């Protein structure tokens, strides 16, 4: 069942989705060609191939129809379906925009509306039907691929939860020794207990057995693998590190070496870093050309009129890998007043009248798009701190420097989560650091785009912590 039915299900989804995309384009062409518009024959003939190519690119990029994994996540399938659909639409409309003269008709005409309505209806209905099929698919199978776990500890409980959530193409029976309270003190006790468990699992027709045990007990694996082979059962050993640390590890491979990492970091992948950098460059150029081109001289005039001094304020901040850099901002305070290393307060006499406005609306941060273009900042990431604050907080918060594994950002997850502004207590900074580390561990391009939208919304609504 494991491979055959998963293969059938995914291929059926792929064929249905491709047919829907082609049918949507045919609907567009049918109604568009009936309109009183002169169409280029070559352009029309290319529409279906462009649809197919753009959809294949989108599903390949998001790995929508993955068959190289044992388990199937319905949540990831739905999420990637809508991501692939959005990217395909962007590519399709981009082709029209750059290679067709009647842009206004294509984007606003009835043909486009009908096509988009059909595709949205299909994706909503098909995902509902796919859910109904995948939930009941195990009932239609006579011989199931049965998976179980042996070993009762924190790691096995987490693994069991993961298997239960994604067990659409397998039959997960649970933890075999869940009711046992025995703790194996010696290697011989462990070997005897596991051998009995493997034989019992074979009698219960278990196809695959996960063995979760402490690293000290996982020694003579060949004996157990040979026993599993004789019984025609797949064995998989999972080291239990829950007694060593409460944190979640990330495991990777370096040639034949297994490497245990303290956390997952998507931006360690060169492709992800390239994607993020490309997003930063495009985003910053657009902001500089279409916003700062007129905003800079306007704010420069108001800042210079209200107080003497430079338009821009630059301050040394802590960047990626703990390397300092100059962070640029529109000057919002009078010069030579007070200690520059002191955080801004809600009622601060150092702030100029125009400074109050640009700080409240976060316009003072706009010159940092030059930092992004230079490469010492990113659009989204943990906010950079002054050197003194980095030193002070690093002495009180153990994992404080983890946030410096990535480039600092103009905005970040902590900022859109209501954790910006003055940090009066160490506990305030701990919450911010925890959120920053969550961003480091869960980065994706979609997350960056989402944080950018949330930043605009928070700015328009007004943030009580912005002062």
**Position 78 in a domain:** yes
The per-residue pLDDT for range 136-167, each reduced to its tens digit, is 766 666 567 788 999 888 888 888 888 887 77
Residue 45 included in any domain: yes
Half-sphere exposure of 440 (CA within 13 A, CB side): 24
Same domain assignment for residues 58 and 164: no
pTM: 0.60
Query: Which candidate, 8, 19, 272, 294, places its Cα nearest to that of 130?
Result: 8
Nearest to 43 by CA among 113, 97, 88, 110: 97
The answer to the question of residue 95 being in a domain is yes
φ and ψ of 453, to 5 deg: -65, -45
CB 181: neighbour CB atoms within 10 A? 6
User: Cβ(100)–Cβ(43) under 8 Å?
Assistant: yes
Would residue 107 count as lying in a domain? yes
CATH code, domain with 165: 3.40.50.20
- List pLDDT tens digits, range 308-332: 889 998 999 999 988 999 999 999 8
Q: Are 162 and 127 in a shared domain?
A: no
pLDDT of 108: 59
Write the CB contacts of 312 (distance below 8 Å, at least 6 apart in sequence).
328, 329, 330, 331, 367
Q: Do 97 and 28 share a structural domain?
A: yes
The verdict on 208 and 285 lying in the same domain is: no
Say if residue 228 is in the same domain as residue 92.
Answer: no
Exposure string (b/e) for 312-334, b if CB count within 10 Å is 16 or more? bbeeebbbbeeeebebbbbbbbb
Residues 120 and 231 placed together within one structural domain of the fold: no
Asked whether 115 and 178 are in contact (CB, 8 A), the reply is no
The pLDDT of residue 419: 80
CA distance 276 to 267: 9
Tell me if 253 is assigned to some domain. no
What 3-state class would DSSP assign to 331? Answer: coil
CA 363 to chain centre: 27
Would residue 262 count as lying in a domain?
no
Q: How many CB atoms neighbour CB 393 within 10 A?
A: 18
| 260-295: pLDDT as tens digits | 677 788 998 888 898 999 999 999 999 999 999 999
Query: Is 281 found in the same domain as 176?
Result: no
Check whether residue 371 and residue 389 sit in a common domain: yes
Q: Which two tokens stand for residue 284?
A: 């910053």
Looking at the structure, tell me whether residues 132 and 148 fall in a common domain.
no
Residues 24 and 18: their CA atoms lie apart, in Å, by 10
> What is the per-residue pLDDT across 238-253, written as a single tens digit (0 to 9) for each?
888 776 655 566 776 6
Residues 227 and 276 grouped into a single domain: no
pLDDT in tens, the chain (467 residues): 445 677 778 888 999 999 999 999 888 888 776 655 555 665 667 888 999 999 999 998 888 887 656 567 788 888 899 999 999 998 888 887 777 655 555 555 677 888 899 999 999 999 999 888 877 766 666 567 788 999 888 888 888 888 887 777 778 888 888 766 566 777 888 888 889 999 999 888 888 899 888 877 777 788 888 888 888 888 888 888 776 655 566 776 655 666 667 778 899 888 889 899 999 999 999 999 999 999 999 999 999 888 888 999 899 999 998 899 999 999 988 876 555 555 555 556 678 888 888 888 889 999 999 999 999 999 999 999 889 888 888 888 888 888 999 999 999 999 898 887 666 677 788 889 999 999 999 999 999 999 999 999 888 887 665 54
In a domain, 261, yes or no: no
Structure tokens at 87: 């990217």
Where in the sequence is the domain holding 333, given as residue range(s)?
Answer: 270-461
With tokens 């074979």, the residue in question is 202
The pLDDT value given to residue 368: 96
Q: Which of 212, 246, 280 is the last residue of a domain?
A: 246
pLDDT value for 169: 74
* Predicted pLDDT at 467: 44
Q: Of 112, 139, 166, which marks where a domain is finished?
A: 139
> What residue spans of 100-186 are helical by DSSP H?
103-108, 110-136, 154-165
Residue 148 in contact with residue 172, Cβ under 8 Å? yes
pLDDT for residue 64: 87
Characterize the bridge pairing of strands 409-411 and 378-380: parallel
H/E stretch holding 234 reads strand 234-239
119, 139, 159 - which closes a domain: 139
Domain co-membership, 96 together with 176? no
Q: Total domain count for the chain?
A: 3
Q: Is residue 29 part of a domain?
A: yes
**370 and 412 belong to one structural domain:** yes
The pLDDT assigned to 189 comes to 84
């Amino acid at each position: 069942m494991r491979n055959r039915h998963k293969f059938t299900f995914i291929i059926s989804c792929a064929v249905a989705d491709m047919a829907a995309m082609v049918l949507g384009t045919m609907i567009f062409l049918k109604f568009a060609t009936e309109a009183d518009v002169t169409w280029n024959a070559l352009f029309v003939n290319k529409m279906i191939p462009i649809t197919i190519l753009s959809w294949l690119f989108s599903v390949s990029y998001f790995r929508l129809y993955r068959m190289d994994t044992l388990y199937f996540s319905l949540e990831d399938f739905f999420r990637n379906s809508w991501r692939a659909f959005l990217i395909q639409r962007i590519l399709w409309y981009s082709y029209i925009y750059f290679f067709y003269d009647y842009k206004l008709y294509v984007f606003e005409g009835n043909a486009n509306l009908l096509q988009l309505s059909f595709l949205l209806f299909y994706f909503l209905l098909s995902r509902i039907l796919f859910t109904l099929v995948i939930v009941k698919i195990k009932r239609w199978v006579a011989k199931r691929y049965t998976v179980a776990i042996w070993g009762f500890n924190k790691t096995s409980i987490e693994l069991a939860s993961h298997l239960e959530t994604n067990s659409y193409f397998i039959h997960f029976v649970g933890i075999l020794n869940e009711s046992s309270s025995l703790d194996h003190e010696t290697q011989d006790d462990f070997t005897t207990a596991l051998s009995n468990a493997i034989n019992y699992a074979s009698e219960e027709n278990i196809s695959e057995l996960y063995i979760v045990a402490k690293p000290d007990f996982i020694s003579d694996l060949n004996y157990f693998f040979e026993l599993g082979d004789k019984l025609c059962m797949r064995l998989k050993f999972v080291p239990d590190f829950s007694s060593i640390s409460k944190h979640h590890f990330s495991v990777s491979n370096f040639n034949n070496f297994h490497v245990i990492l303290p956390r997952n970091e998507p931006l360690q992948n060169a492709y992800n870093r390239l994607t993020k950098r490309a997003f930063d460059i495009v985003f910053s150029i657009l902001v500089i050309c279409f916003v700062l081109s007129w905003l800079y001289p306007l704010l420069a005039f108001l800042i210079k009129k209200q107080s003497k001094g430079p338009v821009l304020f630059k301050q040394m901040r802590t960047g990626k890998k703990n390397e300092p850099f100059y962070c640029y901002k529109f000057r919002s305070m009078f010069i030579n007043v007070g200690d520059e290393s002191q955080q801004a307060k809600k009622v601060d006499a150092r702030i100029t009248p125009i400074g109050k406005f640009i700080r409240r609306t976060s316009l003072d941060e706009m010159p940092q798009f030059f930092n992004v273009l230079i490469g010492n900042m990113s659009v989204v990431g943990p906010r950079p701190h002054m050197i003194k604050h980095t030193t002070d907080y690093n002495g009180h918060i153990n994992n404080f420097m983890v946030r410096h594994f990535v480039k600092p950002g103009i905005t970040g997850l902590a900022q859109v989560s209501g954790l910006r502004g003055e940090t009066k207590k160490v506990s305030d900074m701990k919450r911010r650091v925890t959120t920053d580390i969550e961003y480091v561990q869960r980065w994706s391009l979609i997350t960056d785009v989402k944080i950018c939208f949330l930043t605009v919304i928070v700015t328009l609504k007004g943030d009580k912590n912005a002062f």
